[in-house]
Chains A and B, each alone.
Chain A
Amino acid sequence: MVLAQTFHQFSTGAMGGVAQVALHAAIAAYLIAAVISLVAVFAPGKAKMAWADWTGAAGTISLLLYFAARVHEAGPAPLQNLFEVLALSALCLAVAYFAATRLKPMPLLGAFVFPALATVFLVSFLFVGSALQEAPEALRPLIALHVLLTIMAYGVFFMAAVAACLFLMQERALKRRHASRLARNLPPLESLRKLLGQCMWIGLGLLSAGFVLGFGGFPPAQWPVLALTPKVMTALVLWLVLLAIAGARLAGWLHGRKLSYMVLVGFSLVLVTYVGLALTVRAQQSARVATITEKP
């Protein structure tokens, strides 16, 4: 009920007609794709996964249309609240999924990605109306790019986490010599290993670029102050952790199962930082609103 009310408030807000239709279509498509792909897990069939992929693709196109409409409505800064940030993360995950599966078909990967996308949307409703922290007007494009790259990195890390989960499941099934229907339909271990590695490096690259642009969005004089803010410090720690994981993999210290566990730990940190920061921003906004209201 609360979710429905939030959704109603959101969809009848400042958004235009095209964006509204596109967003509704995207959410519906991802939910349908999630259901079809979950059915495909228990009753595997190429046709079912193909339907899930087509529905998911329709959802992704609708989401792209939504952002196009938002750019048209709101100008160069369409990300005006955390809902939109999460929606963009979902879009990045979807794009990463389609890119990965077009390069190398991986059956049943969608059964994990589409439910994840649907969940991201459901979670994102919690953040309707929370505005983003504003940057100086002149530096907005850099900040927008920083936000975009960071969100893309989160999307790619999400994909790495999915690959790590599937790797652990497949590896366990192969080691235990137990071939459940699910295990038999998972992508090959080698594909998951490669996908995990690629997503980790791409994600780290995007995150690093996002950092540089983030600092570039503010005057150099503000950098020392900026670096000491909890948000930036947390993000820096996260970046160092992810860099350490990637470095350990490169040095051959982390591999196979251990690497997958570490990627999941890294992604959990991403998630905690992401949600933690969002909640902090929300709390700060609430406090500001309360102060303004109290003033005569």
Chain B
Amino acid sequence: MNRFVILGISHKFAPLEVRERLAYSDRRVPMALRTLREAGCDEVAILSTCNRVEVIAFTAEPGARAKILSVLATDHAFAPDYLDKHCYFHRGPEAVTHLLRVAGGLDSLVLGETQVLNQVKRAYLMAQSENATGKALNALFHKAFHVAKRLHHETDISRGQLSISSVAVSYVDRVFEDLHKKTALLIGAGEVGELTLTYLRERNVGRVIIMSRTLERAREVATRFGGDAVPMDLLEDYLPAADIVVSQTSSETPVLNGATFARSQRKRGWSPVLALDLAVPRDIARDAAEVEGVFLYNVDDLEEVVAEHAMARSRELEHCHAIIRQEAAEFVAGFHVLAAGPLITQLRARAEAAKQAELARLAHVLDQLPDAARQEVAAFADRVVNKLLHPHIAALRAEAAHATPEDLRRAARLLGLESEAPAGQPAEQPAAPVQLPVEKSP
């Protein structure tokens, strides 16, 4: 169990400046997964969202923390000591509980949000496609998906104002009196941006313009929202028309800055613009907030609204924590049982081999018997083997729930078995990796 580790940074411990530097774009994840595997992670996945970057690994490496930290620091040109100050590290049951909390939205900026579940699914699928997951992470991620569903169905944690998008849109009311004559410009057609657009459409925003790196993608979103698709290189031409700018591209440098907004504002007669930068790294440079009439919000600015949201949901939170505690305990117990799998398999194989050897030795006698009698003898041998093995297997399963890897090794030695798979590694794949429905995430 202690081979599960999570090292990461989140909005709780690291400022946006650090988070945006550490963020992994989709294109960089495969290489990072390979590097992490080379660094000793048997199984590994990378979760990179607006609010967190986490490495979820299954490793026997005792210095896992330092090694993962070193990979992250090297990848993003950070001094390891500096990065370490903003990181958290969980191991064993703590790591399991942490991932369950993250997938359930309990560790999110907007408590109970459901978008993070899609992002966790996406991280898992990316790791799976790179063959970086195995039996242990498959089990853990499937448990996380199951728990997230339970939390959303059995509690009220995800009711009401849920997402960063909806919180962001709540600022619209403080700037504009009537949205039906307003124009919203979506830059980058990611999941959060699209959700923001959905909320704006629900509030009858007049016109929608969608810009994306690929015009085809922009057209696809524009068709769904009844808007206009525009190529990204016309951004400066269309900016003056926008009253609400929602930006969520995967660009590693800002796509808009103060000078661009100043030119646009001059053309607009300095009427107010609400700029919602939902991207990490940020899409809109900080100096844009200094331009008159531009009201710029990034993901960190939503914290105050979120804090109130969390207060209102604190009662639900207790219920959620109880579910997570129960599910984490079940997973830990179940995982230990799975860890006894190799011993059980070997025990069975050894007994089976002994049975077959004895039957082979009696072959000349058995050949003279009628078929019915021969089958009866074979069935008798099976029953004897099963009856002899049953108490040992039952005891192994029962004790494995609380056993450490060392306990399992000791049991193997007592039974005269040489475990091929290292103790603590599940023998069977507990949950087959399946294709999960997941939307494109930022």
Contact = CB atoms under 8 A, between A and B. Distances in A.
B289 interface: yes
Contacts of B176: 188-190
Interface in A212-240: none
Given A252-B269, A255-B269, A190 B177 contact: yes
Contact of A189 (B175, B289, B292): B175
Interface string B221-251: 0000000000000000000000000000000
B304 to A, nearest CB: 6
Contacts of A179: 174, 304-305
A177 B297 CA distance: 7
B269 A178 contact: no
Contact of B272 (A177, A187, A190): A190
B264 to A, nearest CB: 14
A150 interface: no
A250 to B, nearest CB: 11
Contacts of B269: 252, 255
Contact of A174 (B175, B177, B304): B175
A125 B297 CA distance: 48
Contacts of A183: 174
B176 to A, nearest CB: 5
Contacts of A104: 177
Contacts of B297: 177
Interface string A83-105: 00000000000000000000010
Nearest to B294: A175
Nearest to B178: A190
A193 B272 contact: yes
Interface string B164-181: 000000010111110000
Contacts of B292: 255-257
A170 interface: yes
A30 B309 CA distance: 37
A191 interface: yes
A184 B174 contact: yes
Given A175-B295, A255-B292, A189 B174 contact: yes
Given A177-B301, A179-B304, A193-B272, A256 B293 contact: yes
A255 B173 CA distance: 21
Determine the interface band of chain B, counting residues with CB < 8 A from chain A.
Answer: 10 to 19
B174 A174 contact: yes
Interface residues of A, number: 22
B199 interface: no
A169 to B, nearest CB: 11
Interface string A161-194: 0000000001001110111000110111111011
B51 to A, nearest CB: 17
A188 B295 contact: no
Contacts of B293: 255-256
Nearest to A187: B177
B78 interface: no
Contact of B177 (A175, A177, A188, A257): A188
A193 B295 CA distance: 15
Contacts of A186: 174
Contacts of B304: 177-179
Contacts of A190: 175-177, 271-272
B89 interface: no
B173 to A, nearest CB: 6
A174 B293 CA distance: 10
Interface in A244-260: 252, 255-257
Contacts of B175: 174, 188-190
Contacts of B171: 174
A192 to B, nearest CB: 9
B270 A256 contact: yes
B177 A255 contact: no
Contacts of A191: 177
A232 B270 CA distance: 36
Contacts of A184: 174
Contacts of B177: 104, 187-188, 190-191, 194
Nearest to A257: B292
A194 B175 CA distance: 12
A198 B86 CA distance: 52
Interface in B267-324: 269-272, 289, 292-293, 295, 297, 301, 304-305
A210 B13 CA distance: 63
A237 to B, nearest CB: 28
Q: Among A170, A177, A178, A255, which residue has the most Cβ atoms of chain B within 10 A?
A: A177
Nearest to B292: A256
Interface string B317-357: 00000000000000000000000000000000000000000
Given A177-B297, A256-B293, A188 B270 contact: no
Contacts of A256: 270, 292-293
B301 A188 contact: no
Nearest to A170: B174
Nearest to A178: B304
B315 to A, nearest CB: 22
B174 A175 contact: no
Interface of A: 104, 170, 173-175, 177-179, 183-184, 186-191, 193-194, 252, 255-257
The 7 closest A-B pairs by CB, nearest first: A255-B270, A191-B177, A177-B301, A188-B177, A174-B295, A189-B175, A190-B177
Given A184-B174, A187-B177, 19 more contacts: A170-B174, A173-B174, A174-B171, A174-B174, A174-B295, A175-B289, A175-B295, A179-B304, A183-B174, A188-B174, A188-B175, A189-B174, A190-B176, A190-B177, A190-B271, A190-B272, A194-B177, A255-B269, A256-B292
8 contacts: A173-B174, A179-B304, A183-B174, A186-B174, A193-B272, A194-B177, A256-B270, A256-B292
